[in-house]
């Protein structure tokens, strides 16, 4: 079994009815996860980020958001609180606190971080890998 940290945007494609661009690769990761071939490690904030996008950008109603919240709990990702000193170091390198948390978790777990965020890919190329 392989392990990785997935960016919230990658996991969001798992729930989007109109996944664009990276929908295919992200859904292949979901199939790997569901078959037990992939273990997903993530910072504890991932569920909040996903709910935020679904509510604010996709404008899902309360019932849909509650269902999504239950579905996120069912995913059983290994949620880790990012080390704040590592987060601070990545913020100083130019990442947002949220993005820095993902990179810090991947760095601590010594696993790749899969994202399509060009800023993260540029600042943390040793840790971040493109979904493509």
Where are the chain's structural domains?
2-130
* For the chain, percent of residues with pLDDT exceeding 90: 83
2-130: which CATH architecture?
A: 3-Layer(aba) Sandwich (3.40)
Task: Tell me the pLDDT of the chain averaged across its residues.
Answer: 93
Rg (CA), the chain: 14
Whether this prediction's pTM lies above 0.95 is answered by no
Choose among 70, 59, 45: nearest CA to 16: 59
């Amino acid at each position: 079994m392989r392990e990785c940290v997935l960016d919230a945007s990658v996991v969001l494609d798992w729930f989007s009815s109109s996944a664009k661009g990276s929908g295919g690769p992200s859904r292949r990761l979901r199939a790997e996860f569901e078959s037990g071939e992939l273990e997903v490690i993530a910072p504890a904030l991932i569920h909040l980020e996903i709910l935020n996008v679904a509510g604010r950008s996709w404008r899902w109603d309360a019932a849909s958001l509650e269902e999504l919240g239950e579905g996120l709990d069912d995913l059983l990702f290994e949620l880790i609180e990012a080390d704040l000193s590592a987060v601070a170091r990545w913020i100083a390198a130019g990442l947002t606190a949220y993005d820095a948390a993902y990179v810090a978790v991947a760095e601590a777990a010594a696993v790749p971080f899969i994202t399509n965020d060009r800023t993260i890919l540029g600042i943390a190329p040793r840790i971040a890998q493109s979904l493509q």
